[in-house]
Amino acid sequence: MTGSTDPSPRGLSRRGLLALGGGATVALGAAGAMTLTGPRPQPGAAVEHGLEYPFYGEHQAGILTPAQDRMHFAAFDVRERCSREDLVELLQDWTYAASRLVLGLDVSASGAFGGNPLLPPDDTGEAADLGSSGLTITFGFGPSLFRTATGEDRFQLVDRMPADFVPLPKMANDFIRPEISGGDLCIQACANDPQVAVHAVRNLTRIAIGRAQLRWSQLGFGRTSSTSTTQATPRNLFGQKDGTNNLKAEQPDRLAEHVWISDGPQWSHGGSYLIARRIAMTIEVWDGLQLGEQDRLLGREKGSGAPLSGGSEFTEIDFTRTGPDGKPLIDERSHVFRTHPDNNDGIAMLRRGYNYVDGNDDTGRLDAGLFFIAFVKAPGRFARVHTNMARDDMFVEYLKTTSSSTFLVPRGIRDGEFVGQALFT
Ligand code: HEM
């Protein structure tokens, strides 16, 4: 272990190399390190095919990036014996590997096929021919990184924890399983090819061996939001257009107001809070509802996505319009009524969730739902909207939340820095 706090991710640390060597600690000496510490890839470096998003920037990729089709989300616990220096070194190693992966490269220069045949390869190789496929890798810090459940300040970070970083209140139909919630660190890997996203998480997990351990992970298919006006609105597993009234990358003023952290410690500014909730949907029950009732529960037409107050998909919702019977066209207990900024002190959020199906239960029902992800300026703002939803939303009867986590996604970095560097300096 070097224990180096050199901020420049010039290559994997010796500790990272040892992790990749799968315990071949004796065999991997200085020569091994040399083969791995190749020239750093530059953004825009040639990849044979595939869509590429820049790794460096003011904000981390994977928030405003047009939502890709696939996701692998993973949460990690830092191992008990790890020091602050080990944590920094892990973040440096992850930064280096991630900066290569998003270009469609292996985690190191010798990669999957070019290393010493007497050692396990550095990269697992299953994404070798798939290009970058629009991969983004977004890192986040859990509250337990700053202060453990027993109040311990393991990494001398407690003074730097923002006051806003508070737990979410328990909601109606929350059946939270602690073993698939929380974590010290998280990685959200999104790509247009599932194998590219899985490869990223798998290899970053491998690099972390001895320093951080996978706590839980979730696969998602089919984005349930648009994060850019250039994207068509996708559908969730209730068959509804989802993401119509989402915040979009093309609205910088609204993003500044609702998504980017601007209060609290300086190091956190420009970051965002990621709320992740695994929401099981009772789709078989939903499927038995009349179409008109499905529309009423949401407040929009299932087919077109238009608000029940009239117009087409992107027409502004009008909660004041009434029908011939004098009743509002959009029910006050519908999902859009409960969550719309007009009914929540103006609060909006950037949603970026995915559908999931994790097999089925023993009664033959699919274990399916929405892995809900939202980016917000402060967890309390999310809680404000969510409380309004959980209390009165007719939707909630068809939902059951099994996992809930909040992570602080630090701001983006420049080439030569490591993810989250401002927290440590
Ligand atoms: C499985 C659970 C959920 C499903 C199926 C779902 C589905 C939808 C759909 C179809 C829309 C309308 C289209 C759109 O504007 O995007 C919508 C809007 C919205 N949802 Fe959800 N949603 C779920 C959970 C949540 C949760 C947990 C929150 C957080 C409080 C939330 C917040 C919102 C917001 C803020 C809007 C936009 C409202 C507006 O401005 O008109 N949703 N959702």
Ligand 1 contact, 385 CB (< 6 A): yes
- CATH number for 408: 3.30.70.1030
Q: Is the CB of 161 under 6 A from ligand 1?
A: no
Q: Mark whether 216 and 239 lie in a shared domain.
A: no
Identify the burial level of 1 via C-beta atoms within 10 angstroms of its C-beta, where 0-12 means exposed, 13-18 middle and 19 or more buried.
middle
Beta pairing, strands 272-281 & 185-191: unpaired
| Residue 20 falls inside a structural domain | no
Number of CB atoms found within 10 A of residue 149's CB: 9
- Residue whose CA lies nearest to ligand 1 atom number 12: 242
The per-residue pLDDT for 12 is 84
171, 245, 342, best to mutate for ligand 1 pocket (most atoms within 8 Å of CB): 245
**What's the gap in Å between 209 CA and the centre of ligand 1?**
37
Give the separation between CA 13 and CA 18, rounded to whole angstroms: 9
- Is the distance from the beta carbon of residue 295 to the nearest atom of ligand 1 less than 6 Å? no
Q: How far is the CA of 349 from the centre of ligand 1 (A)?
A: 10
In a domain, 262, yes or no: yes
**Among all chains, which residue has been given the structure tokens 């984005």?**
223
Q: What pLDDT is attached to residue 331?
A: 97
Residues 6+ positions from 34 with CB-CB distance below 8 Å? none
Beta strand pairing call for 136-141 and 185-191: antiparallel
Q: Give the DSSP letter of residue 144.
A: H
- Kindly state whether residues 265 and 281 are assigned to the same domain: yes
Same domain, 193 and 270: no
- Ligand 1, atom nearest to 233 Cα: 16
Residue 172 pLDDT:
86
Neighbours of 394 (CB within 10 A): 18
Please work out whether the CB of residue 386 comes within 6 Å of at least one atom of ligand 1.
Answer: yes
336 CA from centroid of ligand 1 (Å)? 7
Same domain, yes or no: 207 and 102 = yes
Pair of tokens at residue 231: 């994207």
Query: Would the CB of 238 count as within 6 Å of ligand 1?
Result: yes
425 found inside a domain? no
Q: Is the CB of 376 under 6 A from ligand 1?
A: no
**298 in any annotated domain:** yes
Query: Closest ligand 1 atom, CA of 382?
Result: 30
Same domain, 355 and 404: yes
Residue at 422 is within a domain: no
- Considering 169, 191, 221, which residue would you say is the last residue of a domain? 221
- DSSP letters, 360-413, are E-TTS-EEEEEEEEEEES-HHHHHHHHHHHHHH-GGGGGEEEEEEEEEEEPPP-
Number of domains in the chain: 2
Give tens-digit pLDDT for 223-241.
999 999 999 999 999 999 9
336 lines ligand 1 (CB under 6 A): yes
Q: What is the pLDDT of residues 142-156, one digit of tens each?
A: 999 999 999 999 999
Tell how far the Cα of 160 is from the centroid of ligand 1, in angstroms: 33
Instruction: Identify whether residues 105 and 121 lie together within a single domain.
Output: yes
Whether residues 252 and 357 share a domain: the answer is: yes
Q: Mark which of 221, 237, 272 sits at the end of a domain.
A: 221
Query: In 3-state terms, what secondary structure has residue 241?
Result: strand
Residue 261 lies in a domain: yes
Same domain? 228 vs 347: yes
Same domain membership, residue 212 and residue 119: yes
Residue 23 is assigned to a structural domain of this protein: no
**Closest atom, ligand 1, to C-alpha of 238:** 5
Boundary residue ending a domain (221, 237, 271):
221
> Considering the domain boundaries, does residue 202 fall inside one?
yes
Question: 114: domain CATH number?
Answer: 3.30.70.100
Instruction: Note whether 262 and 216 are same-domain residues.
Output: no
Q: Does residue 419's CB lie within 6 angstroms of at least one atom of ligand 1?
A: no
347 and 234 co-located in one domain: yes
Q: Are residues 300 and 326 in the same domain?
A: yes
279 CA closest ligand 1 atom index = 1
Residue span of the structural domain in which 263 resides: 224-412
**Per-residue confidence of the chain (425 residues) as pLDDT tens digits?**
223 333 344 688 877 877 776 433 333 333 233 233 344 444 343 333 489 999 999 999 999 999 999 999 999 999 999 999 999 999 999 999 999 999 999 999 999 999 999 999 999 999 999 999 999 999 999 999 999 999 999 999 999 999 999 999 998 899 999 999 999 999 999 999 999 999 999 999 999 999 999 999 999 999 999 999 999 999 999 999 999 999 999 999 999 999 999 999 999 999 999 999 999 999 999 999 999 999 999 999 999 999 999 999 999 999 999 999 999 999 999 999 999 999 999 999 999 999 999 999 999 999 999 999 999 999 999 999 999 999 889 999 999 999 999 999 999 999 999 999 999 99
